[in-house]
Structure 1
Amino acid sequence: MRVTQPTARRARKGAATAVRNLPALAAGEVEVPFVIHGYEEVVARDTTWNEHSHPWHELLWNEQGASTAVVGSAVWCVTPALGLWMPAGQLHSGSAVTGTSSRAHFFRYGTTSALPSAPVAVEITPLLRLLLDRLGEPELTAASRAVTEAMVLDVLRPSPRALLVHLPTSELLRPIVDAVRADPGDQRTLTGWAAALGRSPRTVTRAFRAETGTSFARWVATVRAQHAVRLLAQGFEVDVVADVVGYRSASAFGAAFRRTTGMTPGMFRAR
């Protein structure tokens, strides 16, 4: 019998979600005394952040666990291996599940880097992680800090991979979006959805491509990967997660997960 999503969520049943409200500040609106400043927190319970913006740039990543950042209709999944660069002044909201060890590094507005002035995925490489950790050492001298900060800025690069889902907003595709996000294991094909909506498969295909920049199948695979990341981060076994997100076997799930994220489910759990 297929494992239902409520079963896979029972570890969090009854836990109230914490809501944090932060202001929307323009880029550079607040002067800061740092070039790069680190922050870390273990999220004690499921938490959401309202739409807000920072006067500085922000690099979001996790020591462990999974979190989400939303910019308009784009939903980014943040993991220990894949961070997110959020430019100063960019409105965004977010969420994190209980137990997520969240990391953030704030970069003074105007700091030069190779990253674009738009949100972009950043691979948290061992070197980048080492440098960011070094900035947290209390005995670091001013000269050493300046060198380390320069090295961080030098190695920051956009990642070729991103756990990013663009959410279609049209009335035509909204029923599909709502159903698949509520149950990523939904097995309906694009042809099946087209019949249910009274449209041709070609019409639905074109709409998906126009609104998301990708195919229906790839979009579903990424929604499933984002959901799987959150469940794996909560400690659910790979075969349970595979079933919840709609794969017939753990091996099929593993192959799809690796195509989307660049790592196996086991590798993700280990990190």
Structure 2
Amino acid sequence: MDQIWCHRPESTQRTLERPIRATSHEYDAGARQRWRSHDHAQLIFTTSGVLRVTTSFGVWTLGPHRALWIAPLVDYEWIATSAARMHSVYFEPQASPWPESECHAVTVSSLLRELVAAMAEGRERDALITPLLLSEMRDSREASGAGLPLPLDRRLRQICDVLLADPANGDSLSIWGERVGASERTLARLFKDETGLTFGHWRQQLRIVEAVSKLARGVRVAEIAAELGYANSSAFITMFRKTMGETPQRYLKSEPR
């Protein structure tokens, strides 16, 4: 994963031509949108390939059927970890389906995907599409396993920086404590306070996020298990199924229920 800590966001402050506007673009692997923010909210997802979206407080990996709601004025960037086709829907405040100011991942139903695609084709049917689009978004459920919270503490960010670049790293929190100048107990408490997860759970969630990205790129399960530090494929599959509710082979193929 890419290092993420220092950035100067580009501010995109303008009024949309319409209260809700959709676009569709194709990107090669490695394509990147540098840090920016908007006055309006945005929903982004892919119909093929994988995007990794980063804010100052979280990282989300978006494969098919998983979308990210980016609230207004949130600084973010994204990178296509594989060739991807991305849909974006922009919302003026008065047209927003959700009032909250936090980013969150949601499932993308087949209907929502087709509505966005139709809106991206042209404005002639927007008046008919908009009410159903908003209804489908409000009925969508939270997408599990797509995001990873990031801490603010400088010492924790040093740890996360290394782990994001090398998810297979298995160093204990006591070893990290020696490197960053804090006790194991202090780091454990801070991880829980700032991310809501224990260090072990955070690292496991990181490996899930990385695995989803690799699965979408067509990497074999055995290769993913080895790259992420698991003893064998069975151990990785057991962990993945326990966390995500289904096996890696079925995960990206499954439609949201």
TM above 0.5: yes
Q: Note if 1:57 corresponds to 2:41.
A: yes
Give 1:204 deviation, angstroms.
2.0
Equivalent of 1:151 in 129, 132, 145: 132
Percentage of identical aligned residues = 26
1:127-170, Cα deviation, whole Å (9 max, x unpaired):
322332343566x854xx42321111112145162522223343
Relative to structure 2, which stretch is displaced further, 58-67 or 43-52? 43-52
> CA separation in 2, counterparts of 1:229 and 1:62?
13
Which of the two has higher C-alpha Rg?
1
How far does residue 251 in structure 1 lie from its aligned partner after superposition? Answer: 2.6
Which residue number in structure 2 is paired with residue 13 of structure 1?
A: none
Number of residue-to-residue matches in the alignment: 246
Contact (CA 8 Å) 2:177, 2:184: kept in 1 or not? yes
Instruction: Check the 8 A contact 1:74/1:167 in 2, yes or no.
Output: yes
Kindly state the Cα deviation for residue 259 of structure 1 after the two structures are TM-superposed: 4.0
Shift of 1:124: 0.8
Unaligned runs of at least 5 residues, structure 1: 6-20
Q: Find the partner of 1:101 among 76, 85, 92.
A: 85
Contact 1:36 1:105 in 2 (8 A): yes
Letter in 1 for 2:56: G
Residue 56 of structure 1 contacts residue 108 of structure 1 at CA under 8 Å; is this kept in 2?
yes
Q: CA deviation at 1:257?
A: 2.6
Mapped partners of 1:269, 1:153: distance in 2 = 25
Q: Which has the larger displacement, 179-188 or 255-264?
A: 255-264
> 1:44: how far off?
1.8
| Among candidates 6, 12, 15, match of residue 25 of structure 1 | 12
Structure 1 position 79, deviation (Å): 1.8
The structural deviation recorded for 1:196 is 5.8
Aligned equivalent of 1:10 = none
1:36–1:256 distance in 2 versus 1, CA, 3 Å = farther
CA distance in 1, matches of 2:74, 2:181: 39
The RMSD of aligned alpha carbons is 2.8
Task: Give the secondary structure class of the aligned counterpart of 2:101.
Answer: coil
TM-score, reference length from structure 1:
0.78
Structure 2 unaligned segments of length 5 or more: list them: 2-7
- Match of 1:43? 27
SS in 1 for 2:46: strand
Distance, in Å, in 2 between the alignment partners of 1:226 and 1:239 is: 16
Alignment partners' CA distance in 2, 1:55 and 1:149? 20
